[in-house]
């Protein structure tokens, strides 16, 4: 069982786990269909030491958020995209495709059973973590025979301390996040453990995150840790194209849509060079956790490059305002991105 939601200090929420009341669980055989599943108390799980996820990293996950809006409604942001991506990720790692209806039912049930853990409007959100992994034991390198799907939740505040302060990023040439034709474009659990050492080294030097370069051409950027990257130069918005090694972020897609259809600015999904990033008018990162976060400086082998006087730029601010405005119902959701929850 989770902690008493009445004991939570909403003003002090960080991006840390707070145990909630319940989680959703379903299982599936390799050649079968997912069970209906249901809610169980939040708590520890039991695994064989030979489980596929422990030995060979056969597991994927998603990150989503539920919000309490200014209209005092509970909404989830674009869960259909998460359902599609977790199914793609699962199949890439030889796990059963996720049923969209089961995914949405599980997320909905988890939110509804943990409504009192959703922060008040403006204080944070309920972070949702769907996970699929290989449960059955295995010794040889092969797909296992049984899989588990769980959705759990935690109230969270901003991902980066200070939230509004632009990030200080470090460009690494010592490590690559992913390579073309690998699994950089799926949300596999192993992708994130591989990024821990570069991140720790960067934080020890006073940086907030790491910028990863393209494994085939180190003149090109890819991602910033667990976030997609954007630059703005002369009113043109650019982001690295999806070429097999970059995660197709939900927030990335949302920002591109807002820029094209609402702001009506020139948008390019293309190769983005490190030099373009260091000389851009504005740079920002996107993701479910980080939302839209400005970059104030970038340090590479040539030294520190300050961006937009280390402040949030005009278009970055506008895109963040629009995105969070839709999520919190400050502005109309003309794209139908919000999935309302009936309390």
Residues of the chain with pLDDT under 70: 161-163
Give the model's pLDDT for residue 180.
87
DSSP string for residues in 114-140: TGGGSPPTTS-EEEEEEEEEE-SB-SS
342 is catalytic: no
Taking the whole predicted model, whether its pTM rises above 0.85 is answered as: yes
Give the model's pLDDT for residue 163.
58
Name every residue whose Cβ is closer than 8 Å to that of residue 210 and which is 6 or more positions away in sequence.
Answer: 169, 170, 171, 172, 175, 195, 198, 199, 202, 224, 225
Give the model's pLDDT for residue 162.
60
Q: 123 is written with which tokens?
A: 């204080």
**How far apart, in whole angstroms, are the C-alpha atoms of residue 150 and residue 154?**
14
Q: Do 89 and 60 meet the contact criterion of CB atoms below 8 Å apart?
A: yes
- Domains annotated for the chain, with CATH where assigned, are 5-156 (3.30.470.10), 167-326 (3.20.10.10)
Q: 262 in the Ramachandran plot: left (φ > 0), alpha (ψ -120 to 50) or beta? A: alpha
Torsion of CA 48, 113, 115, 335, to 10 degrees: 90
Residue 301, classed as helix, strand or coil, is: coil
Give the model's pLDDT for residue 159.
85
Per-residue pLDDT reduced to its tens digit, 170-215: 999 999 999 989 999 999 999 999 999 999 999 999 999 999 999 9
φ, ψ dihedrals at 7, nearest 5°: -90, -5
Helical segments of 142-234, H only: 189-193, 196-204
Among residues 65, 187, 238, 320, the one annotated as catalytic is 187
If one counts every other C-beta atom within 10 angstroms of the C-beta of residue 44, the result is 5
Helical segments of the chain, H only: 52-56, 79-92, 100-113, 189-193, 196-204, 250-258, 274-278, 314-327
DSSP string for residues in 39-83: EEES------TTBHHHHH--EEE--EEEEE-TTS-EEEE-HHHHH
């Amino acid at each position: 069982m989770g902690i008493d939601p009445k004991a939570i200090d909403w003003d002090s929420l960080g991006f840390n786990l707070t145990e909630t009341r319940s989680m959703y669980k379903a299982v599936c055989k390799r050649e079968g269909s997912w069970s209906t599943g249901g809610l169980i108390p939040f708590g520890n799980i039991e695994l064989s030491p030979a489980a596929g996820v422990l030995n060979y990293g056969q597991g994927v996950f998603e990150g989503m958020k539920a919000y309490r809006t200014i209209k005092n409604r509970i909404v989830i942001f674009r869960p259909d995209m998460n359902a599609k991506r977790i199914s793609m990720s699962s199949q890439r790692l030889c796990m059963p495709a996720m049923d969209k209806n089961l995914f949405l039912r599980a997320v909905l049930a988890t939110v509804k059973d943990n409504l009192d853990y959703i922060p008040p409007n403006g204080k944070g959100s309920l972070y949702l973590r769907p996970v699929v992994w290989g449960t059955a034991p295995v010794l040889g390198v092969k797909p296992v025979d049984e899989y588990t799907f769980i959705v759990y939740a935690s109230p969270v505040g901003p991902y980066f301390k200070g939230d509004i302060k632009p990030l200080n990023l470090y460009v690494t040439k010592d490590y690559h996040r992913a390579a073309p034709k690998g699994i950089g474009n799926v949300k596999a659990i192993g992708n994130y453990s591989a990024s821990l050492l570069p991140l720790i080294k960067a934080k020890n030097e006073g940086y907030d995150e790491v910028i990863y370069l393209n494994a085939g051409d180190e003149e090109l950027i890819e991602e910033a840790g667990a976030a997609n990257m954007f630059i703005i130069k002369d009113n043109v918005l650019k982001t690295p194209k999806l070429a097999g090694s970059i995660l197709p972020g939900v927030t990335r897609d949302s920002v591109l849509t807002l820029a094209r259809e609402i702001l009506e600015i020139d948008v390019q999904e293309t190769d983005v060079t490190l030099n373009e990033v260091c000389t851009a008018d504005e740079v920002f990162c996107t993701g479910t956790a980080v939302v839209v976060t400005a970059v104030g400086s970038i340090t590479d082998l040539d030294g520190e490059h300050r961006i937009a006087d280390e402040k949030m730029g005009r278009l970055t601010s506008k895109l963040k305002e629009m995105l969070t405005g839709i999520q919190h119902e400050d502005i109309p959701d003309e794209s139908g991105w919000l999935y309302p929850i009936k309390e």
